Each structure stands twice: as structure tokens, then as C-alpha cells.
Amino acid sequence: MTLRLDDLRLTRGATHVLDGVTLEAREGEFISILGPSGAGKSTLFELLLGSLAAEGGQITHNGQPVQGRDLFAFMPQRDALMPWRRVIDNIALGLEVQGLPRRAARDRVRPLLPRFGLDGFERHWPHQLSGGMRQRAALARTLVQDRPLLLLDEPFGALDALTRTRMQRWLEARLQETRVTTLLVTHDVREAVALSDRIYLLSPRPARVVEVFDVPQPRPRMETGPGEEALALETRILRTLLEGERE
Amino acid sequence: MDIANVTRAAARGLRRAAPALVSVVLILLGWEVYVDLSGISATALPAPSRVAAQGWQARAVLAENALATLTATLSGFAVSLACAFVLSVAIDFVPLLRRALFPVFVISQTLPLVAIAPLVVLWFGFGLLPKILLVALVTFFPMLVALVDGFEATDRDITRLLRSMGAGRGQLFWRARLPSALPFFFAGLRISITYAVVAAIFAEYAGAARGLGIFILNAKNNFRPDLVLAAVFVSSALTLALFALAVMAQHFAQPWRRA
Ligand SMILES: Nc1ncnc2c1ncn2[C@@H]1O[C@H](COP(=O)(O)OP(=O)(O)O)[C@@H](O)[C@H]1O
Ligand SMILES: [Mg+2]
């Protein structure tokens, strides 16, 4: 399985957003797309999901043009939990959309709750959850769809530093279990280094890939905290980012 | 819910309502004292005690007329709600309809009820139909706007999420746009239901066999301001009861707001 984004170009209104973005994700890889705010990272996901059409370039999956949405499970930048659905029904949303009756969808979701730290909260409403729990519910909603590719748009951006680290560690453990191919959009360098197999660094708008970093370190990484290599890589990426801004 | 809980809720409600109750009582007391001291005639300004006594004596007639008004209000409002809902859904699916129809409805809101009510009665007689039409005329557009705006207020990320899951236009409406509109719908409902009562009474005033409107007209013509005021109090009570019903409906329709 390989997903390729090839020389994607897009202008939104008067704004030149994407200036030829090329990247690749192979089976089971964790890919980060790292770039400053407003670079066009969320826009890239909108192209993948087909809610926007690129003006140039193409997206292929195993060499075929991508069509339909059943390839991706998407987590939007904010958790987008529905206030009028209980936690369990929010997580089961994708299954219901696929046509599963509510009862069956709940039965599929229920056994997963403990692993997402939501045991005993299935009957709660989203507004009764903490920020970290909401994010875990949104992730559960994404993973339960059982799609070959995850698209995560700054999933931990709104959390405090401690909760964020905890969630990253937890996500790493979940993905160790499933090894599902993942594209993560983030502006957090440390997060990208900690979680990724490969990092695509985007320039400020109009976005293009400035540099690609491989992160060869063994997993799990979050248990031990960042090693020396990781810190060195983080410094290198930060320097590249800052140089890009000075131009 | 056990008895202690109910009692506590009732006590809390009473404490919250206390300031309003006190001011109402003070106004009535001041009115009573003024009538007593100034010696103003009862045909000009009856004291509240007299209004209450005369109203109580006429309670059978008042109740019968109040029931007629309630029937007109609820049937008119039901028709209005049904039309507003159907049309709001149509507009949500076909945005062009909005631009085609909204100007017409805005104009309908500028028609003075005083002028329209007698005409509608002239065309459709003294039965229920003209009341339904007038109540609908007054309440339809606010409910339509509440629903259309409510659908529009759907969170963009939720829309994106549902689309990414493969939801089509129908699922999008059912799973996101309709629930998103609930707060708007109930805000509109609370206000419109009070307008509905006023519109029904107005319609009856313009011509009817029964109803608080025609009761008020007759009482006025017979120089009985005490009975006019008694009917006014009954209509206020009716409006408040319907308002409370709307609040309760919201309470049950949006359980997540309670938790
Ligand atoms: N709906 C839109 N219409 C026009 N321009 C938009 C829209 N959404 C985003 N943009 C522009 O595209 C740029 C990239 O946005 P986005 O992809 O959300 O950035 P990122 O996710 O990297 O922060 C923004 O700078 C913004 O000006
Ligand atoms: Mg973004």
C-alpha cells in the first residue's frame, strides 16, 4: 500500500496556498507533515478527502487515482464531538454513517472503551469530559472506522503540555498495536520527532516540502523520553524552520 | 426522583421567582390603594379586588372563551410550525428558494394586523380558519428564520467530519444540521408562542362567535372594564402557561443541556 501526493498545487481565493507538495506514505508508516500555522496543512487534508480539488498534481493510491472516501479516517483540528450525542454514540458515528444500526455500532465500540481510558464514561455527554478525554474519544471515533489510512489534523494542539505528552505516549502505544498508516499534521517539532518514521517539513505559505527527515529510532520512544539523537534532530529541524522564516 | 428532590426543586423555583412575585404584588397593592383613596369610579378604573371578584363570578364564561382562544392559538401555531419546518428543510436543500421566497415573507411581516384581521374575517367568516391564518401569518416567518439560521449554524468541522465518513446530503441534515438547529428552534418557539396568543385574540376581536377577543369587545361595549381586565389576566396566564410548556419541551428535547 502506498499513498502518493504528487506536486499538488492550489490557490484559495486570492491566496496561493500549495506550491507543489510531494510526499509519500507506505504501508504501516507514520508520517508527519510539519509546518508553520497557515502554511496549508489542513488544506492538504481537504484535498485528500475530496472536499477541495487541486489545480495541479495528483493523488494516487497504489498507482491509481484516489476516489471515494473509504480510504481515510479523518480527525479534524478541533475534536468536533457532537454535543447532542453521548460519548459512545460519538465514537460510533462513523459506523452508523456506514449503515450499521445504532445498537450494533454501540456493541462494536463498547469493548474498545477501556483502551481509550473511557471506561464508565460511555453514557456521558462530551461537555462532561476533560480535554484529554475528549481528544481520546475523537481518536477512538477515528480508529474504529477501520480505514487503511488515518489523517490526524493537530490532534493535540489544544491540550496543555503535560496532557499532550501523555496523549502522545498513549497514541504511540495504540499505533504499536494496530500499525495503521498515519498522516499527522502538526506544528509541534517535538511531537513530529517523537512519533514519526518520516517528517516532511513545509515552508510557510505557499507551501512546498523544504526538507524530508527520516527518524530511524526504535520504538517505543515515548517511554524513555527523547534520546540524544532525537534532540539533535529536533534542533536541526527547528533551525531549518527559523531559517525559512528569515528568507 | 424522590420526594425530597422534588421539594428542593420546588423551593429553588420559588426562591428564584420571589422577586418577580413581590413586584407583582406591590403593583396590585398600589393600584388597589390608589383606587380606594382617589375615589375614581369603577367604570373608569376598577380595583384589582373588584376585577378578581367579577372575574370569578364570570368564570364559566371566561373559561369557555379562554378555551376557544387556546384552540385557535394551538391550531394556528401547529399549522405555522408544520409549514415553517417543511419550508425550512426545502430551503436548506435548495438555497435558491431562500432568495425567491424570503422577500415575500418579509413583506408579509410588514402588514399591520389591525388592517389585515378584519379582511381575513370578511373573507373566511367567524370560524376557526381565519384565526389559524392570522396566527400563522404572525408566527410563521420567525419560526422559519429560526430554523433556517439554525441549520446554517452547523459546525464546519462536524460537517467536514461527516463528509469524510461518507455521509451524503441527507445524513448530513439528519445527523448534524437538524440537531444543530434545536437551540435556535426553541428560542424562536418561546417567543412565537406568546405572539400566537396575541394574534388569536386580535383575530377574535375582529369577529368571532367565541374567544377572549370577542369577550373583551363585548365587555368594553357594555362599559365593564372590570371584565375586560379579568379577560386580560386570563390571557396573560394562558400565555405564561404556553411559554412554560415551550421551556419544558426544550428541557426534554435537549437532555445534554441538563447534565
Ligand atoms: N475557506 C478558505 N477560503 C480561502 N482561503 C482559505 C480558506 N481556508 C484556509 N484558507 C487559506 O489557506 C491558508 C492555509 O490554511 P490551512 O490549510 O488551514 O493552514 P494550516 O492548517 O497549515 O494552519 C490560510 O493561510 C488561509 O489564508
Ligand atoms: Mg490547520
Query: Concatenated DSSP letters for B138-181?
Result: HHHHHHHHHHHHHHHT--HHHHHHHHHTT--HHHHIIIIIHHHH
* A46, burial (CB in 10 Å: exposed 0-12, middle 13-18, buried 19+): buried
Q: What is the pLDDT of residue B132?
A: 94
**Ligand 1 probe mutation, A42, A51, A208, most atoms within 8 A of CB:** A42
Pocket lined around ligand 1, Cβ cut-off 6 Å: A 12-13, 15, 17, 35, 37-43, 205
Residue B152 has pLDDT above 70, yes or no: yes
Q: How confident is the model at residue B34 (pLDDT cuts 50, 70, 90)?
A: very high
Give the position of cell 523544504: A210
The pTM score is: 0.87
Q: What is the pLDDT of residue A186?
A: 92
* B168, burial (CB in 10 Å: exposed 0-12, middle 13-18, buried 19+): exposed
Q: What is the pLDDT of residue B201?
A: 94
How confident is the prediction for chain B on average, in pLDDT? 92
For the ranges A110-124, B3-17, B45-59, B165-179, the lowest mean pLDDT is seen at: B3-17
- Do B14 and B6 touch, CB atoms closer than 8 A? no
pLDDT tens, position by position, A75-90: 998 899 999 999 999 9
Q: Which three cell numbers stand for residue B163?
A: 463528509
**Ligand 1 probe mutation, A15, A34, A210, most atoms within 8 A of CB:** A15
Q: How far is the CA of B209 from the centre of ligand 1 (A)?
A: 64
Q: Residue B182: its chain A contacts at CB < 8 A? A: 84
Residue B79 has pLDDT above 70, yes or no: yes
Q: How confident is the model at residue A108 (pLDDT cuts 50, 70, 90)?
A: very high
Mean pLDDT (whole number) for B97-125: 89
pLDDT tens, position by position, B226-251: 999 999 999 999 999 999 999 999 99
How confident is the prediction for chain A on average, in pLDDT? 90
Mean pLDDT (whole number) for B110-137: 91
Q: Which ligand is located closest to the Cα atom of residue A207?
A: 1
Q: What is the pLDDT of residue B169?
A: 94
Q: What is the pLDDT of residue B223?
A: 92
Give the position of cell 506544528: A187
Q: How confident is the model at residue A225 (pLDDT cuts 50, 70, 90)?
A: confident
Distance CA A235, CA A213 (A): 12
Q: How confident is the model at residue B150 (pLDDT cuts 50, 70, 90)?
A: very high
Q: Which three cell numbers stand for residue A181?
A: 498508516
Q: How far is the CA of A85 from the centre of ligand 1 (A)?
A: 29
Distance from CA of A120 to the nearest CA of B (A): 16
Max Cα–Cα distance, chain A, nearest Å: 56
Distance from CA of A32 to the nearest CA of B (A): 20
Q: How far is the CA of A108 from the centre of ligand 1 (A)?
A: 36
Distance CA B68, CA B217 (A): 15
Q: How far is the CA of A11 from the centre of ligand 1 (A)?
A: 10
Architecture field, domain B42-257: Orthogonal Bundle (1.10)
Query: What is the ipTM, given to two decimal places?
Result: 0.90
Mean pLDDT (whole number) for B133-154: 94
| Residues A80, B163: C-beta atoms closer than 8 Å | no
Distance from CA of A83 to the nearest CA of B (A): 7
Question: A158 in helix, strand or coil?
Answer: coil
Q: Residue A69: its chain B contacts at CB < 8 A? A: 163-166
Q: Which ligand is located closest to the Cα atom of residue A202?
A: 1
| Residues A49, B160: C-beta atoms closer than 8 Å | yes
Q: What Å distances lie between residue B114 and A12, B110, B203, B232, CA to CA?
A: 52, 12, 9, 18
Residue A104 has pLDDT above 60, yes or no: yes
For the ranges A105-109, A174-178, B63-67, B97-101, the lowest mean pLDDT is seen at: A174-178
Residue A205 has pLDDT above 60, yes or no: yes
Q: Which residue segments constitute the domains of chain A, with CATH numbers given?
A: 2-71+149-246 (3.40.50.300), 83-146 (no CATH)
CB atoms within 10 A of CB A55: 11
Residue A213 has pLDDT above 70, yes or no: yes
Which B residues, 168 through 227, put their C-beta within 8 Å of a C-beta on chain A? Answer: 171, 175-176, 179, 182
Going from N- to C-terminal start, the domains of chain B cover 1-39, 42-257
Residue B16 has pLDDT above 90, yes or no: no
Q: What is the pLDDT of residue B102?
A: 87
Among A233, A151, A224, residue whose Cα is nearest residue A192? A233
Which B residues, 28 through 57, put their C-beta within 8 Å of a C-beta on chain A? Answer: none
Distance CA A42, CA A157 (A): 13
Q: Residue A83: its chain B contacts at CB < 8 A? A: 256
Distance CA B29, CA B18 (A): 16
In sequence order, the 6+-apart residues with CB closer than 8 A to the CB of A112 are A91, A140, A143, A144
CA dihedral A116, A122, A127, A131 (to 10 degrees): -10
Q: Are strands A30-34 and A56-61 parallel, antiparallel or unpaired?
A: unpaired
Distance CA A187, CA B171 (A): 33
Distance CA A182, CA A27 (A): 9
- Quick check: B252 contacting A, CB < 8 Å? no
Q: How confident is the model at residue B259 (pLDDT cuts 50, 70, 90)?
A: confident
Q: Which three cell numbers stand for residue B124?
A: 373566511
Residue B2 has pLDDT above 70, yes or no: no
- Quick check: A36 contacting B, CB < 8 Å? no
Q: What Å distances lie between residue A95 and A103, A153, B69, B166, B167, CA to CA?
A: 11, 21, 49, 10, 11
Q: How far is the CA of A94 from the centre of ligand 2 (A)?
A: 22
